[in-house]
Structure 1
Amino acid sequence: MPTDTPSTPTRRSIRTTRTDARRLRRRPVLVLTTLTTAFAIAASATAMAPAPATARAESTPAIALASFTKALPDSITAGVATSVPASKIQSTLDRADDAVAASKKVTADIATSKLDVGTDDTTVETDDLAQAVSDLENVSALPLLLDTRDATAAVEEAVAEVNEQTGALQGRLDAAIQKEKERLAEEKRKAEAAAKAAAEKKAAEEAAAAEASRSSSSGSSSSGSSSSAGTTKRAASGTSAGAAQATARSMLGNYGWGDDQFSCLVSLWNKESSWNYQAYNSSSGAYGIPQALPGSKMGSAGSDWKTNPATQIAWGLGYIDGRYGSPCGAWGHSQSNGWY
């Protein structure tokens, strides 16, 4: 790349150019201020000295500088007025103070937040504004002789530049604060979801363990029972939907549930699997009559959970008891949420 290609002017160089231009405009003002001060001192000294009678009679003021005496021209002493009202000058200076205060505040707020606002430079340059304010204060000290319009405009321009930088930093800080709020909210959501999943898993495991314990006790007590017990066992081993429902009805007594709960259970598992012990949801992986997710959960009720409806039903009833308290409780949840 050629080395003599002009580079893009930076914001600092632009401000320096503007500052130099304002300083050039101030030079005539400073010269006039010096001369005016000298004139005023000389005029005071002359006024204090006794004047001849003929001089007192003259109406045109005069200034004595050494041995040279010259009357002030009418263009200086007559018709001179403040170019910018004093009230506007004061309001401009007040806005300058507010701009500086706001710039310091946003810098302090960023430091306190300890957030990444996307830039290392979190300060606002106010040197130009300070110089412009000083110039305006100097010029406005002699409002009858000096034009305050340029100095006022310079302060207003510097205030606008400071406010622009302050606004940009404030926008970065607000964005960083919002991002941090969203991050904390997401972390809280994940923690709550993990806690809920852990609680559900624990409840299901406890329910399965309780059901397995009840099934074991029931099996031991029925080993020497009459032929009617054998008939019940054969019905429990049936694989049709009707046989599976009969098995479920026979198990309800273990939980103290009646026919009203059986009706809710029929509706619930009709919706889930149509009482098909081989029902499999390819999308979620749920399996069996109760649609356990995953199906291997039912292994806690028996190793034949894939093929025996009775094993699936035993696990399912234990899950319902531990999670919802009753089949009607599970059915109501399923109707409201689409799952149980």
Structure 2
Amino acid sequence: MPASAFYPVGTPGQPWGPAERAQWRARQQRLRRFDEDVLPRIEALAERFERVQYGVLDYAGERYPLLALRSRDWNPSLPAALVTGGVHGYETSGVMGALQFLEQHAGSYAGRINLLVAPCVNPWGYERINRWNFDAIDPNRNFRAGGPALESTALIALVAPLKAQMVLHIDLHETTDSDESEFRPALAARDGQPFQPGLIPDGFYLVDDSDHPQPAFQQAVIAAVERVTHIAPADDKGEIIGSAVVAHGVIEYPLVALGLCAGITGARFTTTTEVYPDSPRATPQQCNDAQVAAIRAALDYALQHAQPS
């Protein structure tokens, strides 16, 4: 979509009000089912992990449980790790990668680290293959106490009593072609700003915390993922999505200041994965496998280098 084009909701240059949000919402169709794709796998895993319902969303009569799975043998003397997926509902491999990790690999960490996994933070967005929630709010810019996204505040409340144990948080995301064709134009329209075209990187990359960077940790994760899929190169400005590449496949954001999910624990080791599912060099299963490889590498590194604070 060129900079001169307008998103088909609202008036150019004017932020949306309730009428525009309702118009946007009317355009969103249910394209897949949380209760068919995700919920049965969570329920099956509840035989091995404690199933925790940490909230419920009620959007115009459509109810979605907010669910996490945690180690049944949770040990206060052990470090803990948080894995989150589906903060942006359309980023499929985050949801599927979190579930695949639980099904295939989480058992090997029993007795060494406590696990808390929220596979699908934004189930309404998952069903609509959308970035935002029902209220046209991006949960991943609103992880702050008292914020407007219920998905975000519920997760914060779940994690709050466990923060002292947390040594790791890995938040699973994707960067897709639809970011440029749909979601960034929608953001510009919603906020009454002009749309500025950008570039979508071809490959996997990570987002570190610029306020508390852990470069060796990020490179350990990159090295593991590189055995599964290719890593995004920097563009001709030395950037990925407008941010300077600080190391192979790594950029940095101020996580807490931006209200990003990966900033909610205060853990020593945090990262946001970004898989590129639209690449001709990657399959959906390869994207899921890349997320699993990232989780395992992050856990292994944290176990070797950290103790709870």
Quickly name the TM-score band, shorter chain normalised: under 0.3
Q: Structure 2 length normalisation: TM-score? A: 0.23
* Higher CA-based Rg: 1
Q: When you count helix as a share of all residues, which structure comes out higher?
A: 1
Q: When you count strand as a share of all residues, which structure comes out higher?
A: 2
Q: Structure 1 length normalisation: TM-score? A: 0.22
